[in-house]
Amino acid sequence: MIEPVLEFKRVSFDYKSEPLKDRVPILEDINFSVNDGEFISIIGPSGCGKSTIFRLITGLEEPGAGKIYRKGQQAIDRLGRVGYMPQQDLLMPWRTVFENAMLPLEIKGIKQNEAEEHVLKLLMDFGLKGSEKAYPGDLSGGMRQRLSFLRTILSGSNILLLDEPFSSLDAITRLTMQEWLLDQWQKLSKTILFITHDVDEALFLSDRIFVLSQKPNSLIKEVKVPLGRPRRVRDLGNLDVITLKEALIDELRPRTAT
Amino acid sequence: MKNLNSYYSSLLVFGFLLIWEAGARAYNKSFILPAPSEIALTLWELRSVLVLHHLPPTFLVIFIGLVLSILIGTGLAIWMNGNKVAEKTFYPIIIASQTIPIIALAPIFVLWFGYTIWSKVAVTVLITFFPITVSAFDGLRSSDKNLKELLLTMGASKKDLFFKLYVPSALPSFFSGLKVAVTLSVIGAAIGEWLGAQAGLGYFSRRMMTQFDGAAVFAPIVLLSAVGILLFLLVTWLEKTLLKWRKTG
């Protein structure tokens, strides 16, 4: 049996800073597992705790109850173990493209020449060659996201967490970036968890989709995307996919009290 | 556009000097209101005494004062940024300390430090300390919380956070404070010297006052402002070199 690379078992979470009586659980009894090399999307209405799942995986937060496993072992010390790409690109404005990409390697304490060589090669692959001395302020939105993704990859981790990375891009750039991301994912053989609020995006990119419903019963529902690989955008016109999309949208729509 | 701006301000200064010149000549009491041409002439006549004898001690006061201010100010700012208790203790005191009329307090330093260089340095430090501390502290505090969390997810240590995030975030604000501080440092050194000194531009200016030599009062002041302007330009240059990215932003 293949062991999942990441597993949540009965994980609950609430913000401890609030007084006990006001505490609303952000996540309750969450179970899921992610296999090696999978592309998983997490969708859900805003405020349902999607980003909190990422904060738990990265180790920025500790679960109130339940356990997180990595490769079958309970993961206690989690900081610095997964690549996390936040919603805003969060590039350092005072560092050049090259220096921004170097950041995770500096923190890992990798030797200077070794790191530089590695970064230069990846800058080429990511279409950022020639801009390595530019500052993030000079880059287009798509380039910034590519650099942010490059930095995430350079964390060296097998698991990448991407939090709505393309939400601020225009429709065309976004499509290009989605295709590009799939391309990179296949080349690099990484495991990706991808947060989005866009059902189309989730269907186009993922193997499986985790659906989080509105609080308080934040139960995860799993959906397998009925599409093979490689994919094209027009595959989204497939009848199975359209039916699935409608079902998902129904799921996400806030229920009116009738 | 920038050249045009400095063109306008030069024109204004030139016009002002012209009116001063005319006014001073009409008034014709050079011990009260010396003409700019007279000041320039005196400055030229006294050049070796002023530059070789009186500028070095003043410059030393400014230099030591600024270095101490930067050390104490940034040190305190770093401490306050890392320690909530330190922040709650010192921040209000630092703000309140600015309501103390430092110039009025200056004579007491002579009591404490005598007529040594340290009484002048103390005045300079007291004046320049505030902008440096507050700007460094605000700069440190302005660092992006999301960026901090991102660095933590990369496994950053406290040292990584400090050097890779806090320091670069604080630099723009720190330089703004430093620009204010260098101009103030000249004032601090001059006031310090009024209290009692054997040499120095502030001391010389005051001594000439007692001799009713108006032009010789102004001449060292011209030199003092030149020092202030040069220091300001030096900081601006440093800022531009270290913060290249800001031009593009």
pLDDT of residue B197: 85
pLDDT of residue A257: 47
The answer on A229 and A121 residing in a single domain is no
With respect to residue A15, please indicate whether it lies within any of the assigned structural domains. Answer: yes
pLDDT of residue B106: 81
From B151, B157, B168, residue closest to A94, measured CB to CB: B168
The answer on A162 and A222 residing in a single domain is yes
Domain range for A152: 91-156
Residue B154 with chain A: CB contacts under 8 Å: 80, 103-104, 107-108, 155
pLDDT of residue B2: 53
Query: Which of B142, B151, B153, B174 has the most A C-beta neighbours within 10 Å, making it the best mutation to test the interface with A?
Result: B153
The answer on A161 and A240 residing in a single domain is yes
Stretch B119-130: mean pLDDT, rounded? 92
With respect to residue A205, please indicate whether it lies within any of the assigned structural domains. Answer: yes
Residue B151 with chain A: CB contacts under 8 Å: 103, 107
Instruction: Determine contact, residues B131/B177, Cβ cutoff 8 Å.
Output: yes
With respect to residue A219, please indicate whether it lies within any of the assigned structural domains. Answer: yes
Average pLDDT, chain B: 91
The answer on A140 and A103 residing in a single domain is yes
Residue A109 with chain B: CB contacts under 8 Å: none
The answer on A114 and A60 residing in a single domain is no
- Which is higher by pLDDT, A219 or B218? B218
pLDDT in tens, B84-123: 999 999 999 988 888 888 778 888 888 898 888 999 999 9
With respect to residue A258, please indicate whether it lies within any of the assigned structural domains. Answer: no
pLDDT of residue A22: 67
The answer on A238 and A164 residing in a single domain is yes
Residue of B nearest to A100 (CA): B164
Helix (H, G, I), strand (E, B), or coil: what is residue A188?
A: helix
Instruction: Determine contact, residues B200/B57, Cβ cutoff 8 Å.
Output: yes
Q: Is A149 on the interface with B (CB under 8 A)?
A: no
Contact (CB<8Å) A81/B155:
yes
pLDDT of residue B248: 46
With respect to residue A27, please indicate whether it lies within any of the assigned structural domains. Answer: yes
CATH number, domain of B210, equals 1.10.3720.10
Q: Is A4 on the interface with B (CB under 8 A)?
A: no
Residue A104 with chain B: CB contacts under 8 Å: 154
- Please spell the DSSP secondary structure of A74-125, one letter per residue: E----TTSSEEE-SS----TTS-HHHHHHHHHHHHT--HHHHHHHHHHHHHH
The answer on A170 and A120 residing in a single domain is no
pLDDT of residue B3: 56
Q: Is A135 on the interface with B (CB under 8 A)?
A: yes
Residue B101 buriedness (CB in 10 A; 0-12 / 13-18 / 19+): exposed
With respect to residue B61, please indicate whether it lies within any of the assigned structural domains. Answer: yes
With respect to residue A102, please indicate whether it lies within any of the assigned structural domains. Answer: yes
* Cα distances (angstroms) measured from residue A19 to each of A22, A47, A64: 6, 20, 15
Q: Is A103 on the interface with B (CB under 8 A)?
A: yes
The answer on A21 and A37 residing in a single domain is yes
pLDDT of residue B168: 95
Residue A95 with chain B: CB contacts under 8 Å: 168, 245
pLDDT of residue A21: 66
Q: Among A156, A184, A212, identify where a domain stops.
A: A156
With respect to residue B115, please indicate whether it lies within any of the assigned structural domains. Answer: yes
With respect to residue B20, please indicate whether it lies within any of the assigned structural domains. Answer: no
Please give the tally of structural domains in chain A: 2
Main-chain dihedrals φ then ψ at residue A194, nearest 5 degrees: -130, 120
- Taking 60 as the threshold, does the pLDDT of residue B170 lie above it? yes
Q: One digit per residue, pLDDT tens: chain A, 258 residues?
A: 567 899 998 888 887 766 666 667 788 888 899 999 999 999 988 777 888 899 999 999 988 888 999 888 888 888 888 999 988 889 999 999 999 999 999 999 999 999 999 899 889 888 888 898 999 989 988 899 889 999 999 988 889 999 998 888 888 888 888 998 998 898 888 999 999 988 999 999 999 999 887 765 566 788 898 888 888 888 888 888 899 998 888 888 766 544
Q: Among A156, A186, A203, identify where a domain stops.
A: A156
pLDDT of residue A20: 66
Stretch B22-48: mean pLDDT, rounded? 91
Q: Is A58 on the interface with B (CB under 8 A)?
A: yes
With respect to residue A143, please indicate whether it lies within any of the assigned structural domains. Answer: yes
pLDDT of residue B1: 46
- Taking 80 as the threshold, does the pLDDT of residue B213 lie above it? yes
pLDDT of residue A3: 77
- Please spell the DSSP secondary structure of B183-247, one letter per residue: HHHHHHHHHHHHTS-SS-HHHHHHHHHHTT-HHHHHHHHHHHHHHHHHHHHHHHHHHHHHTTHHH
CATH number, domain of A198, equals 3.40.50.300
Q: Is A133 on the interface with B (CB under 8 A)?
A: no
Q: Is B28 left (phi over 0), alpha (psi -120 to 50) or beta?
A: left
Helix (H, G, I), strand (E, B), or coil: what is residue A144?
A: helix
Residue B243 with chain A: CB contacts under 8 Å: 94
Contact (CB<8Å) A107/B171:
no
Instruction: Determine contact, residues A73/A240, Cβ cutoff 8 Å.
Output: no
Stretch B63-73: mean pLDDT, rounded? 96
Q: Among A120, A139, A156, identify where a domain stops.
A: A156
B68–chain A nearest CA distance, Å: 28
B101–chain A nearest CA distance, Å: 39
Domain range for B50: 35-248
With respect to residue A70, please indicate whether it lies within any of the assigned structural domains. Answer: yes
Please give the tally of structural domains in chain B: 1
Q: What percent of chain B has pLDDT over 90?
A: 73
Stretch B150-174: mean pLDDT, rounded? 94
The answer on A195 and A147 residing in a single domain is no
A200–chain B nearest CA distance, Å: 28
Question: For residues A31 and B5, what is the distance between their CA atoms, to the nearest angstrom?
Answer: 65
- Taking 50 as the threshold, does the pLDDT of residue B249 lie above it? no
With respect to residue B13, please indicate whether it lies within any of the assigned structural domains. Answer: no
Stretch B48-75: mean pLDDT, rounded? 95
With respect to residue B51, please indicate whether it lies within any of the assigned structural domains. Answer: yes
pLDDT of residue A193: 95
